[in-house]
Amino acid sequence: MNLPIGKSHMTNVEEIREILASSQNRSFPFHMTEFGLDLVVQEGVFPPEEFVGWRWATENFPPVHGLDVLEIGCGFGLPGLHLARAGARSVTSVDINARAVANTIENAARNNISNLEAFESDVFSNVRPKRRFDIIFWNFPSQFAPDDYEYENDLERGIIDAGYALLRRFLSEGPEWLTNDGRIIMGFGGYARDDILSQIVRENRLEASILVQGSRQTRTATYRLVQVRKGHEEPYSRFSQSRALTERARGLYPAGVTRVSIAPVPIGKRNEDLSIYAHAGEGARIQDADGNSYVDFHNNFSTLIHGHRHPATIAAIASQLERGTCFGNPTVADIDLAQAICERIPAIERVRFLNSGTEALMFAIKAARAMTGRTRLAKLEGAFHGTYDWAEVSARSSPNNWGGDYPKSNPPYRNTPPHVCEEVVVLPLDDTARSKTIIEQHGSDLACIVVDVLPCAAGMIPLNPDYLTMLQDTARRHGILLISDEVVSFRVHYHGASAARGFHPDLVTLGKVVGGGLPIGVVGGTSATMEAFAPHDSAPVPQGGTFSANPLTMAAGRAALAALTVGEIDRINELGNYLRQQAEEFASQVGVAITVQGAGSLFRFHAKQHRPLSYREAHHDVAESEALRRLHAGMLERGIYVAAPFWGGISTSMTKLHVDDFLDAFRACLRETPDLKRLDRRTAT
């Protein structure tokens, strides 16, 4: 895919040397101590303030124990000297500036570091041809930008401005110097280079992802380490390990799976139903048991909003692990996460921790019953709120049983006790008039209305503001409590999905992202409503759990929330908008009935001519379901992993590169998959 690239302002190597010589504004040499290293900075080498983000990159560099590292641009010795001391087997530091090389060698001697060598080289020119490295690192390369770019105050035109051509050369030649499992790591500030970086990565058939990102407390600038690896060139056909594991699982689990939501898919040249077994994940990618690599838009059903092995989250877990996994006592970790949630979500003043979204919703319903003295609840048709009998009613309604204008309360499983369905009133999704009529009819009996403002299983259709206002007004008039289920949808806004839509619930349930990748459920709400869980209450709801508020989850959740900043949410939401728009536009161009619903960083594909606006419109018939199943398999075969039947989300470890990879695979599927070609707009509903 060709991406628009502005004309770049570039300088050559001689100009860089002139900048190095003219940029000194202090007395030299000067001394500093960083990371336990005694360092001296000589004249003719960039002073620390001009190494934008160098300290942050050093602090956040991944472990290098036992690895061979090549550092491009050694400066006065950081982070190379730190990596050498941190356990790297060897560090090779090169720089075009002879003074920088001499300065680095001097600092290595001052600190008795013997596993670092430094020499003058223009990128790879003087590196020994047969050397191979586990990591090649270049710290904040080339500030290239269009001529009319408005430079920030801390970025003067020309500083470290080697240009687009040098970056192209670096990423073209770099992979040849890597070991089989090696990677390139580059430090960047901001996001201005994404389009240019995307083009170069794709031209060289590489794979890129954000390894870590953040900022220093004393600066507002955002920094990130971008990881680049060798890519896969062909659609995947190697599934022997997953095939063997699928067969083994069939002898152990009903239907061969331990979660109904991860059923096998038709994949590979044999078009056989296989479960793809995960082996490892890092950043935006996962690797399966056969070594195939995928861009992961699944992220365990949207749980891993920072991707896999998010460094801050892993560090928090490791730190807690050293102190213990669980106790029969509270810990400071649960207080910290509770405070972060209460400060972030306007509707939450008090919380209780549980172990899943299902438990959170279950206790929210119990609290509503206890506080109102009523037993019945209302929910939206097709909405999924976990595997609790009352919450599951009509979650899977179909044309065979959903009834007429007023939805039936259908049992979630065979032989469901009749009273369960009798206790649940089902509302037509986003139908303001009919829903209001139903609520008015049953208002005096209802303890609560359960709402997800972006109901994933019901089509991921953003609820109309008028509908939400009606629910709010009608519930208040009848003394009905509102429960906002944000287990999936919380991520669309810094303050949560309800706050984003102007919805004011009495109780909120959370899960997934707030656990940092570990099991969690949260029920929170106003102080008055949460009194239902207080032991002194006249109608208490006993709530406990052996692993509730376990410190590993609490530590992971706090780290994940801290990294989920306003800026990051806005960025991945923009990528979500881009994915939805581009996918719909291409489907329309080729005449395939595919539309996309969702909001923020979440998306759900429909085999429909028009975007569905209700659960019944979103329901897929057999042909439509099979088409999405084939699309899901086709994307897997092209290195893109989404949740079945076809939904997913953008993680903060992703950039536009990953979304473009998704769109390229999607376009290939629409062109090459016969089942999808047949689903044209003349036959789709």
Of 150-164, 205-219, 328-342, 458-472, give the lowest mean pLDDT range.
Answer: 150-164
Rounded to whole angstroms, how far apart are CA atoms 617 and 598?
A: 15
Residue 204 has pLDDT above 60, yes or no: yes
Residue 46's pLDDT is 63
Q: Read off the pTM.
A: 0.77
SS3 385: coil
Q: Output the pLDDT for position 21.
A: 52
**Residue pointed to by tokens 């904040």:** 140
Domains, the chain, ordered by start: 23-230 (3.40.50.150), 281-305+567-679 (3.90.1150.10), 339-549 (3.40.640.10)
Q: Is the pLDDT of residue 334 over 90?
A: yes
How does residue 367 score in pLDDT terms, banded at 50, 70 and 90? very high
* CA trace torsion 124, 128, 132, 138 (10° rounding): -30
3-state secondary structure of 399: coil
Mean pLDDT of the chain, nearest integer: 86
- List alpha helices for 287-407, DSSP H: 299-302, 311-321, 332-344, 357-372, 389-392
Q: For residue 569, name the pLDDT band (cuts at 50, 70, 90).
A: very high
Is the model's pLDDT at 159 over the cut of 50? no
- Residue 393: C-alpha distances to residues 65, 416, 435, 495, 567 (Å): 53, 10, 17, 29, 38
Residues 594, 583: contact at Cβ < 8 Å? yes
Taking only the tens place, the pLDDT of each residue in 103-117 is: 999 999 999 999 999
Q: Is 634 exposed, middle or buried (0-12, 13-18, 19+ CB in 10 A)?
A: buried
What is the rounded CA–CA span in Å between residue 52 and residue 345?
34
Does residue 215 carry a pLDDT above 80?
Answer: no
> How far is residue 367's CA from residue 362's CA, in Å, rounded to a whole number?
9
Cβ-Cβ contacts under 8 Å for 672 (sequence gap 6 or more): 634
Query: What span, in angstroms and rounded, lies between the C-alpha atoms of 210 and 224?
Result: 7
What are 541-565's pLDDT values in tens digits?
989 899 999 999 999 999 999 999 9
The 3-state secondary structure of 487-537 reads CCHHHHCCCCHHHHHCCCCCEEEEEHHHHCCCCCEEEEECHHHHHHHCCCC
